[in-house]
Amino acid sequence: MTALPLVIAPDPRLKTKSTPVKDIDAEIKQLVADMFDTMYYEKGIGLSAVQVGVLKRVMIADVTWRDEGGPGEQHIMINPEIIENAPEPNVYKEGCLSFPDQFVDVTRPKTIKLRYLNIDGETKEGDFDGLLATCIQHEIDHLNGIVLTDYASPLKRDMILRKLTKLKKAGVFDQHDHDHVHGEHCNHG
């Protein structure tokens, strides 16, 4: 198992647009494996490559896994793009591994149609709804340099960023030396 260090906000990499993957080689496949190890270790349900410091358009999700039961339905999406949204909105209290223990109500389309490459380089299209659709949209935001606090009010955004800056300076997020206390909310990458 290789759990990679997380990029914790505030960090300029999180506001940087990731570049498309041109070739799904052994390095990308290893990145995906390490991302799953990291996501499960950190108790998340989604993760984008930028959150482990790699500015490539790679994201993963598994909204059905449980600590005791191991992996659920794993989704690997390379160069994902939303090609259609349903007009029906869904509001979810989202968390983010790069914003530990911070939550923001985010309104997103309830269902999406997505085009992406799978790990074998095949172009796929799929319809996603519910929590998985929310998670995928959250991770695509990361790939586009959009973060959780972009959905918060200016006051809440400033409070969250000040708190995380203070905790980073205190060394609280030194990798894998802290315990995560996540609530019942969805912790995306």
Amino acid letter for position 1: M
Reported residue count of the chain is 189
In order, the DSSP letters of the chain are --PPPPP-SS-GGGGSPPBPPS---HHHHHHHHHHHHHHHHTT-SEEEGGGGT--BSEEEE-SS-BTTTB--S-EEEEEEEEEEE-S-EEEEEEEETTEEEEEEEEEEESEEEEEEE-TTS-EEEEEEEHHHHHHHHHHHHHHTT--GGGGS-HHHHHHHHHHHHHHHHTTTTSTTSS-----SSEEE-
Q: How confident is the model at residue 77 (pLDDT cuts 50, 70, 90)?
A: very high
Looking at residues 56-69, what average pLDDT do you find? 87
The single residue of 84, 88, 125, 139 carrying the catalytic annotation is 139
Q: Is the pLDDT of residue 114 over 60?
A: yes
Task: Write down the pLDDT at residue 181.
Answer: 33
Average pLDDT, the chain: 91
pLDDT of residue 187 exceeding 90: no
Mean pLDDT of 113-140: 97
According to the model, what pLDDT value does residue 185 have? 40
* CATH superfamily, region 12-188: Peptide deformylase (3.90.45.10)
- What's the CA gap between 17 and 89, in Å, rounded? 25
Span of 54-68, 87-101, 126-140, 156-170 with lowest mean pLDDT: 54-68
Determine if the peptide bond prior to 71 is cis (ω within 30°): no
> What span, in angstroms and rounded, lies between the C-alpha atoms of 156 and 25?
41
Mean local confidence (pLDDT), 95-102: 96
- Taking the alpha carbons at both ends of the chain, their separation in whole angstroms is 18
CB 34 within 8 A of CB 117: no
Which among 113, 59, 55, 111 is positioned nearest to 88, based on CA atoms? 111
88 belongs to the catalytic site: no
**Mean pLDDT of all residues in 96-114:** 97
User: By percentage, how much of the chain surpasses pLDDT 70?
Assistant: 90
pLDDT of amino acid 171: 87
